[in-house]
């Protein structure tokens, strides 16, 4: 989501005499409504809600909105939350007017029975459960949570069981297991689900490596991260083709090329967007960043404002197996919302590749909620916000989540910051440091799967992920932006 500076920059490039209120729509033109082709895109279950927020160009102070279903007015606001208590197909009609005329459009919402309806566009083999990972490296003596996210409602007779290296674990009866790496080596954990009509298994590998500190690296002279290992933004209008800043990735762009582009942006302190909820990047240093024991250790620059912060959760990792790759255990850095209703762990959200050009991107989360990332042509006219190096028709993002508390009223959006501990967030840790005004983080804030603090002497890798799922009609999706990641001690 752009900030105020972006709005000012855009206005500077648009001739005032040719547009209405600087939004790129010629004066005297009725409103223009744009959104996904809903006939194949909006499918929800009974009693679930679907927020409909169209992308409308040409709004002014005279604009009005009328939402109707079967001729009955259901809302007169600029967005509408649809809920149905009966299965079937519903046509939601929208009439928007401004001083120059009117525009009409409608979407089709198919409401399915919760127990039997398949998730849209999810491959058959993943309709039972999803796994954040199936192999990881950990330091000897550490513990790690191994888990599967179950997607179906299971019968009461369903039973889970685990074995570790072939040995049954009779006390483990949930789809998650906490493993302690006492002995070095490769360990195989097997999860089994048994129901009256099916048996399913999933294997996980935990490689227990040398004790922590074995592969610690000395300072090599550069405060800035020197490599981007992964750039997997969720769909968002600032990611690919944003008209003010950001790269445009051609259809043949590879993941490696995208990562190189992100690093080049950080070297210039240019913006990199992570897209909507769950979108992330993983970066590494040319040395191990030491834990100062309570002072700041990391510097991360975003572009937050008091009325528009888009928090990103920060994760850190040690190179436990010494191979120079971020395939090791991750630890979240605790922010102000730890152990509050605003913070949630073990969250997953799946985005679906749009079937039509210039369409919104539908999503469904682990709770069965649905919605979409709006398509906003006047900020990003790219045919699709789906990145060219992301394969398949769907992709799931895992991580933690912060509650969306954005509001929209009278044409203005407000996304207030959290107290602190997050990237691109105007919290108490957004202060002037050696590298400038930005957020600062402490390695001592690292927590494990239970929220307990972990003593990490150093870290090698950093992951930042967008924390909120949400959007506002005028500014689009909430998306964490990153300009710079550095070692605070080396600035």
CATH 2.60.40.10 intervals, the chain: 26-112, 125-209
What 3-state DSSP class applies to 268? helix
Cβ atoms within 10 Å, residue 301: 23
Q: Determine the Cα–Cα distance for residues 395 and 385; give it in Å rounded to an integer.
A: 13
Residues sharing a CB contact under 8 Å with residue 439, sequence separation 6 or more, in sequence order? 299, 300, 301, 302, 304, 422, 423, 424, 425, 427, 429, 430
Closest CA to 309 of 468, 467, 415: 415
| Beta bridge partners of residue 159, listed in sequence order | 194
Q: How confident is the model at residue 471 (pLDDT cuts 50, 70, 90)?
A: confident
CA–CA distances in Å: residue 260 to residues 226, 246, 265, 491: 10, 13, 9, 22
Cα dihedral 431, 419, 397, 109 sign: negative
Q: Looking at the predicted structure, is the pLDDT value of residue 197 above 50?
A: yes
Angle at 413 between CA 437 and CA 467, to 5 degrees: 60
pLDDT of 58 over the 90 cut: no
pLDDT of the residue at 83: 84
The CATH fold assigned to 26-112 is: Immunoglobulin-like (2.60.40)
Answer positive or negative: Cα dihedral of 373, 367, 118, 173: positive
Indicate if the alpha-carbon torsion angle 65, 67, 72, 73 is positive or negative.
negative
Compute the average pLDDT of residues 430-448. Answer: 96
For the cut 80, the answer to whether the pLDDT of residue 96 exceeds it is yes
pLDDT value at residue 467: 97
- The Cα 133–Cα 434 span in angstroms is 37
Q: Does the 125-209 domain belong in CATH 2.60.40.10?
A: yes
Distances from the Cα of 490 to the Cαs of 289, 296, 339, 422, 455, in angstroms?
A: 9, 12, 32, 21, 21
Of the candidates 319, 356, 333, the residue with the CA atom closest to the CA atom of residue 207: 319
Instruction: Tell me the pLDDT band of 122, cut-offs 50, 70 and 90.
Output: very low
Q: Which residue has the higher pLDDT, 439 or 387?
A: 439
Of 143-147, 202-206, 269-273, 336-340, the least confident:
269-273
Residues 38, 41, 43: CA angle, nearest 5 degrees: 105
Look at residue 16 and give its three-state secondary structure. Answer: helix
- Shortest CA distance to 225 belongs to which of 186, 184, 262? 262
In the block, tokens 């049954």 appear at 168
Task: Give the three-state DSSP class for 266.
Answer: helix
Give this prediction's pTM: 0.77
Report the C-alpha gap between 372 and 49 in whole angstroms: 12
* Most confident residue range from 154-158, 163-167, 252-256: 163-167
The percentage of the chain sitting over the pLDDT mark of 70, rounded to a whole number, equals 87
Pick the closest to residue 322 from 417, 224, 241, 217 (CA basis): 217
What whole-number distance in Å separates Cα of residue 240 and Cα of residue 389?
12
For residue range 299-326, list pLDDT tens digits in order: 999 999 888 899 999 999 999 999 999 9
Asked if the model's pLDDT at residue 1 lies above 60, the reply is: no
Measured between alpha carbons, how far is 248 from 111 in angstroms, rounded to an integer? 37
Looking at residue 395, its pLDDT comes to 92
């Amino acid at each position: 989501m752009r900030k105020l500076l972006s709005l000012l920059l855009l206005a500077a490039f648009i001739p005032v005499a040719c547009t209405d209120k600087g939004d790129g729509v010629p004066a005297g033109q009725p409103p223009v409504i744009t959104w996904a082709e809903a006939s194949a895109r909006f499918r929800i279950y009974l009693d679930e809600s679907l927020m409909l927020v169209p992308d409308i160009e040409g709004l002014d102070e005279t604009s009005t909105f009328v939402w109707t279903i079967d001729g009955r007015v259901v809302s007169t606001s600029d967005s509408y939350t649809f809920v149905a208590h009966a299965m079937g197909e519903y046509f939601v009609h929208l009439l928007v007017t401004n001083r120059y005329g009117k525009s009409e459009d409608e979407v089709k919402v198919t409401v399915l029975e919760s127990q039997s309806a398949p998730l849209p566009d999810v491959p058959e083999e993943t309709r039972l459960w999803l796994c954040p990972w199936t192999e990881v490296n950990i330091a000897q003596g550490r513990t790690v949570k191994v888990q599967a996210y179950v997607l179906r409602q299971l019968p009461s007779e369903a039973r889970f069981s685990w074995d570790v290296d072939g040995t049954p674990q009779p006390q483990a009866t949930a789809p998650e297991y906490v493993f302690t790496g006492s002995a070095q080596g490769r360990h195989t954990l097997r999860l089994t689900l048994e129901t009256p009509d099916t048996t399913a298994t999933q294997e996980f590998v935990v490689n227990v490596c040398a004790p922590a500190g074995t592969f610690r690296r000395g300072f090599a002279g550069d405060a800035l991260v020197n490599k981007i290992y992964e750039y997997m933004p969720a769909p968002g209008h600032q990611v690919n083709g944003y008209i003010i800043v950001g790269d445009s990735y051609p259809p043949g762009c590879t993941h490696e090329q995208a990562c190189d582009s992100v690093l080049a942006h950080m070297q210039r302190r240019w913006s990199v967007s992570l897209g909507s909820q769950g979108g992330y990047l993983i970066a590494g240093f040319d040395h191990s960043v030491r834990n100062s024991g309570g002072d700041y250790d990391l510097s991360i620059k975003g572009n937050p404002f008091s009325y528009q912060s888009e928090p990103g959760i920060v994760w850190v990792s040690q190179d436990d197996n010494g191979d120079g790759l971020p395939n090791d255990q991750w630890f979240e850095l605790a922010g102000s919302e730890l152990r509050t209703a605003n913070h949630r762990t073990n969250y997953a959200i799946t985005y679906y590749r749009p079937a039509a050009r210039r369409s919104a991107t539908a999503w469904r989360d682990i709770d069965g909620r649905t919605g979409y990332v709006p398509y906003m042509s006047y900020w990003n006219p790219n045919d699709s916000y789906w990145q060219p190096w992301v394969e398949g028709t769907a992709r799931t993002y895992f991580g933690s989540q912060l509650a969306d508390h954005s509001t929209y009223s009278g044409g203005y959006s407000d996304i207030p910051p959290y107290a602190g501990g997050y990237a691109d967030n105007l919290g108490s840790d957004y202060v002037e440091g050696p590298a400038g005004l930005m957020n600062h983080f402490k390695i001592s804030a690292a927590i494990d799967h239970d929220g307990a603090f972990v003593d990490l002497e150093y870290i090698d890798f950093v992951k930042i992920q967008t924390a909120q799922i949400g959007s506002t009609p005028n500014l689009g999706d909430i998306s964490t932006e990153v300009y710079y990641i550095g070692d605070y001690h080396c600035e």
